[in-house]
């Protein structure tokens, strides 16, 4: 009998002790997906047989899920869009290749907001994913399928991508762990780009230790991604049990503003008190440009989107109409049929922000604000070791509740986008349930660039107390 809610650590132990075989474990998860996926819509594509033969490695025999914006050669990759409904990948993303080399077995590709644009996984062309803890609610986004798969135990762990909170926010909504590494820590080669200077791949797991194990396998310089760094890669599991007594913890006063729900604020403040009980030195700090982060993000990101999505034109690959009168007509009709309302909205915003006469007023100004936000974090990290606060202002809301108000959905990213603007690592861990909604609250921990080891250590120590 295979236990429920296996972590990587427990699955490895079970395989090593012969409690179950690799084949039995994979088959177990396949059956669970067949039973539950119709209700949750977490997976878009399911692989019935493992395609990895490696029996050794840190992840040998561990079944996982991959967000459907990462390429796997010979398989369908949709990015949650109709324009790529029948696209078969011609190569495999570096992050996926690294998982396979470590022996991980891929169960399938998970649902997501179209081209990763959204915070609820309601923008998928293939229907919304449901939160396994309450199927009337959203699982967060854009990596909602990956988060739901892990939370429902339809995978031991999953990969997601984070452009403005798309790993951390669904992790918070589903009550699991979500890690966004430093920009440049993990290769983006084979990740369908949303905004190239923001996107980062990372793990969604059941525990912080599992996140550290997966991160160990994903990091490193890649010749196919010039933004990856050649930094030495530590063993991220090495210091997890080292006490955090004396650690300086910054709490930005700007995080506790009018938009934060009472039930979230209660849990966050309780968790900060628990950090104090572990011997941490809690300091109030200020991030003066925090209030401009969301506005800067929603100028800079659509600008990059408008450039990145130009390739989906109905000519090179993806959906193409057969009744175009000429080349321009084919472009227009293919994109109209293939792209949903959110990509169209962001392409138009980005094209406007980059257009002659508006570039300086919008895009250039957003980039200047981005530099100021990075400077705020640089100053803060001279005084503190980590910064903490909420992952999202609310717990998971009802499906359809905010779908007609894009601005309300954008505000769900208020605490996560500053990290992507500054390229910093962040993690969301569950810190209890909201008193009113009875849904999970996410606690976000932020560290300085390439300091994931401290980030994971703090999160692991806190996780032990919160359990």
- Local structure of residue 192 (DSSP, 8 states): P
Q: What is the per-residue pLDDT across 411-462, written as a single tens digit (0 to 9) for each? A: 999 999 999 999 999 999 999 999 999 999 999 999 999 999 999 999 999 9
Q: How confident is the model at residue 36 (pLDDT cuts 50, 70, 90)?
A: very high
In the block, which residue shows the tokens 């409690």? 19
Per-residue pLDDT, averaged over 142-151, amounts to 98
* Catalytic residue check, 67: yes
CATH topology of domain 8-218: Amidase signature (AS) enzymes (3.90.1300)
- Write the CB contacts of 131 (distance below 8 Å, at least 6 apart in sequence): 137, 138, 139, 140, 148, 151, 173, 174, 396, 439
38/177 Cα distance (integer angstroms): 24
* Catalytic residue check, 166: yes
- The catalytic residue among 120, 124, 142, 146 is 142
pLDDT: which is higher, 53 or 424: 424
Q: How confident is the model at residue 54 (pLDDT cuts 50, 70, 90)?
A: confident
The pLDDT value recorded for residue 318 is 86
pTM: 0.96
Distances (CA, A) of 395 to 122, 137, 169, 208, 311: 16, 10, 10, 21, 36
- The catalytic residue among 32, 67, 180, 206 is 67
Per-residue pLDDT, averaged over 392-415, amounts to 93
Q: Which of 25, 26, 129 is nearest to 68 (CA)?
A: 129
The pLDDT value recorded for residue 407 is 87
DSSP reduced 3-state for 99: helix
CA dihedral 393, 395, 399, 402 (to 10 degrees): -20
Per-residue pLDDT, averaged over 90-108, amounts to 97
Examine the pLDDT at 55 and tell me if it is beyond 80: no
Distance of CA 440 to the CA centre of its chain: 17
17/55 Cα distance (integer angstroms): 14
**Lowest-pLDDT choice from 177-191, 320-334, 409-423:** 320-334
Mean pLDDT rounded to a whole number for the chain? 96
> What percent of the chain lies above the pLDDT cut of 90?
93
Domain residue ranges in the chain: 8-218
- The catalytic residue among 146, 161, 166, 306 is 166
Per-residue pLDDT, averaged over 262-275, amounts to 98
Structure tokens at 358: 């508006």
């Amino acid at each position: 009998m295979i236990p429920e809610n296996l972590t990587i650590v427990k699955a490895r132990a079970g395989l090593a002790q012969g409690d179950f075989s690799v084949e039995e474990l994979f088959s177990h998860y396949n059956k669970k997906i067949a039973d539950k996926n119709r209700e949750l819509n977490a997976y878009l594509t399911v692989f019935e047989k493992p395609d990895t033969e490696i029996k050794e490695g840190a992840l040998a025999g561990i079944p996982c899920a991959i967000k459907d914006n990462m390429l796997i050669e010979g398989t369908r990759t949709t990015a949650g869009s109709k324009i790529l409904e029948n696209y078969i990948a011609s190569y495999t993303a570096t992050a996926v290749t690294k998982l396979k080399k470590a022996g991980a077995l891929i169960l399938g590709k998970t649902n997501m907001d179209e081209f990763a644009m959204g915070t609820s996984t309601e923008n998928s062309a293939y229907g919304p994913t449901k939160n396994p803890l309450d199927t009337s609610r959203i699982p967060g986004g854009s990596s909602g399928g990956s988060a739901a798969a892990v939370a429902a135990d339809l995978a031991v762990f999953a990969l997601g991508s984070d452009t403005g909170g798309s790993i951390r926010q669904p992790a918070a909504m589903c009550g699991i762990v979500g890690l966004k590494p430093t920009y440049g820590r993990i290769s983006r080669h084979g990740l369908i780009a949303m905004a190239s200077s923001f996107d980062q791949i990372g793990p969604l797991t059941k525990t912080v230790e599992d996140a550290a194990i997966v991160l160990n396998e994903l990091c490193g310089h890649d010749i196919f991604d010039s933004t990856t760094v050649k930094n030495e890669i530590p063993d991220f599991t090495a210091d997890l049990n080292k006490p955090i007594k004396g650690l300086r913890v910054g709490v930005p006063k700007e995080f506790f503003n009018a938009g934060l729900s009472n039930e979230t604020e209660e849990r966050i403040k309780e968790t900060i008190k628990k950090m104090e009980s572990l011997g941490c030195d809690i300091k109030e700090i200020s991030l003066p440009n925090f209030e401009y982060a969301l506005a800067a993000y929603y100028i800079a990101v659509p600008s990059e989107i408008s450039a990145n999505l130009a390739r989906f034109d109905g000519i090179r690959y993806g959906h193409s109409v057969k009744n175009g009168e000429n080349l321009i007509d084919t472009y227009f009709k293919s994109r109209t049929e293939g792209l949903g309302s959110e990509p169209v909205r962001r392409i138009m915003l980005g094209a406007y922000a980059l257009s002659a006469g508006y570039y300086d007023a919008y895009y250039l100004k957003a980039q200047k604000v981005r530099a100021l936000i990075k400077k705020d974090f640089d100053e803060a990290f001279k005084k503190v070791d980590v910064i903490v606060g909420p992952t999202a202002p609310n717990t998971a809301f009802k499906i359809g509740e905010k779908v007609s108000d894009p601005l309300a959905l954008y505000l769900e990213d208020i605490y996560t986008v500053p990290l992507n603007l500054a390229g910093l690592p962040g993690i969301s861990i569950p810190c209890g349930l909201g008193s009113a909604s009875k849904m999970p609250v996410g606690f976000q921990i932020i560290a300085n660039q390439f300091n994931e080891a401290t980030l994971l250590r703090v999160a692991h120590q806190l996780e032990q107390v919160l359990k």
